[in-house]
């Protein structure tokens, strides 16, 4: 199993292949592979190689990565320079997603949690009485990488909240995608913290009920990463454990099988009206345990960690 990442090297973002705790720059590794074997990998990709460029050529790029991973397992430590995950300067895996689709209230327990605060006494949303609900999230500005800072102090809101989420990365263009064919359009999975400025969620308007832009799209409010894990290595993305901690205190502890609408349902629903593109990211929603339901919010000095089984841990200090 390997993972993909984007790291900063010599002052620029570089795609890296991760084996265990070692990361290998892809362009350096493919050059070593060519010297050793006389064959080329990822040869049709423009240089410098970017994650978006790879996703536009998925799954052919994935097959080349499989060959490259085998080569690195056999020869990597001797022939190819690498950096440890502890020392790597991670950027978001995808710089930058063409679009980010965010699923609202898509965990059953979280939907109940939010309803009890915002609309006490009203009916809960269920799979049976609803369709998937998504909104667009900004990409450039909010999206940051593993260990980069959430700049909460720059937003005039005392109610800055965390939302740990599994995110799907699209690897194949599609429109009118059937539910049973949805997985063929997925390149892989990553982790996102859908940070939210709760005071801005309800605008000072009588004609609009919610403001996703000012609530969700603040600079640095979409930490993503550290890895993109190919779909082939995740047996069932709707059977994964997800844990969010703030200063090592567990806030969210759930499994992705609590999704109100599954990943295939959301892909099929979105593609009724939209052509999904390689590099698009679908944030699948957050489980219960957000600060809004607890009356507890982020402040400078806090550290948020989101761990998803089989994918990794996304860490974000708050400033």
Q: Verify that 248 and 300 share a domain, yes or no.
A: yes
Task: Give per-residue pLDDT as tens, 86-141.
Answer: 999 999 999 999 999 999 889 877 777 777 666 787 777 777 888 999 999 999 99
At 190 the pLDDT is 98
Within 8 A by CB and 6+ apart from 41, the residues are 30, 33, 34, 64, 67, 68
pLDDT exceeds cutoff 80 at 180:
yes
Q: In the Cβ-directed half-sphere of 157, how many Cα atoms lie within 13 Å?
A: 23
pLDDT digits over 293-318, tens only? Answer: 899 999 999 999 999 999 999 999 99
How many structural domains does the chain have? Answer: 2
% of the chain residues with pLDDT over 90: 85
Q: Are 65 and 109 part of one and the same domain?
A: no
pLDDT tens digits, 264-296: 999 999 999 999 999 999 999 999 999 988 999
- pLDDT, tens digit (0-9, with 9 covering 90-100), for 139-149: 999 999 999 99
Looking at the structure, tell me whether residues 123 and 206 fall in a common domain: yes
- State pTM to two decimals: 0.95
DSSP 3-state assignment of 189?
strand
Query: Which structural domain, as residue segments, surrounds residue 222?
Result: 95-317
Q: Are 94 and 228 in contact (CB under 8 A)?
A: yes
For the purposes of burial, counting CB atoms within 10 Å of the CB of 101, is it exposed (0-12), middle (13-18) or buried (19 or more)?
buried
Beta bridge partner(s), residue 223: 144
Q: Which of 90, 116, 136 is the last residue of a domain?
A: 90
Chain mean pLDDT for the chain = 94
- Here the CATH number for the domain that contains residue 31 is 2.30.30.230
Residues 70 and 105 grouped into a single domain:
no
- Smallest CA-to-CA distance from 270 within 142, 101, 95 is with 101
Return the SS3 of 79. Answer: helix
């Amino acid at each position: 199993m390997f993972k993909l990442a984007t790291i900063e090297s010599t002052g620029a973002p570089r795609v890296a292949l991760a084996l265990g705790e070692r990361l290998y720059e892809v362009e350096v590794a493919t050059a070593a592979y060519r010297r050793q074997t006389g064959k080329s990998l990822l040869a049709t990709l423009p240089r410098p190689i970017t994650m978006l460029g790879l996703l536009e050529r998925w799954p052919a790029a994935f097959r080349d990565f499989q060959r490259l991973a085998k080569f690195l397992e056999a020869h990597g430590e001797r022939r190819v320079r690498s950096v440890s995950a502890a020392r790597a300067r991670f950027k978001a895996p995808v710089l930058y997603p063409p679009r980010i689709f965010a699923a609202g209230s898509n965990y059953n327990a979280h939907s109940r949690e939010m309803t009890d605060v915002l609309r006490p006494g009203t009916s809960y949303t269920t799979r049976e009485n609803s369709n998937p609900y998504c909104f667009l999230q900004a990409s450039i500005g909010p999206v940051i990488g593993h260990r980069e800072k959430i700049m909460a102090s720059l937003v005039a809101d005392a109610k800055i909240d965390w939302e740990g989420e599994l995110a799907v990365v699209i690897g194949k263009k599609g429109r009118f995608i059937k539910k049973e064919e949805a997985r063929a359009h997925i390149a892989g999975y990553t982790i996102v913290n859908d940070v939210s400025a709760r005071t801005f969620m309800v605008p000072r308007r009588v004609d609009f009920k919610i403001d996703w832009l000012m609530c969700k799209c603040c600079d640095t409010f979409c930490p993503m990463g550290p890895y993109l894990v190919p779909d082939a290595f995740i047996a069932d993305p709707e059977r994964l454990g997800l844990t969010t901690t703030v200063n090592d205190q567990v806030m969210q502890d759930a499994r992705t099988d609590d999704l109100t609408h599954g990943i295939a349902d959301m892909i099929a629903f979105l593609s009724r009206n939209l052509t999904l593109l390689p590099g698009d990211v679908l944030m699948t929603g957050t489980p219960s345990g957000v600060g809004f339901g607890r009356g507890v919010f982020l402040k400078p000095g806090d550290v948020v960690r989101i761990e998803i089984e089989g994918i990794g841990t996304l860490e974000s200090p708050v400033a």
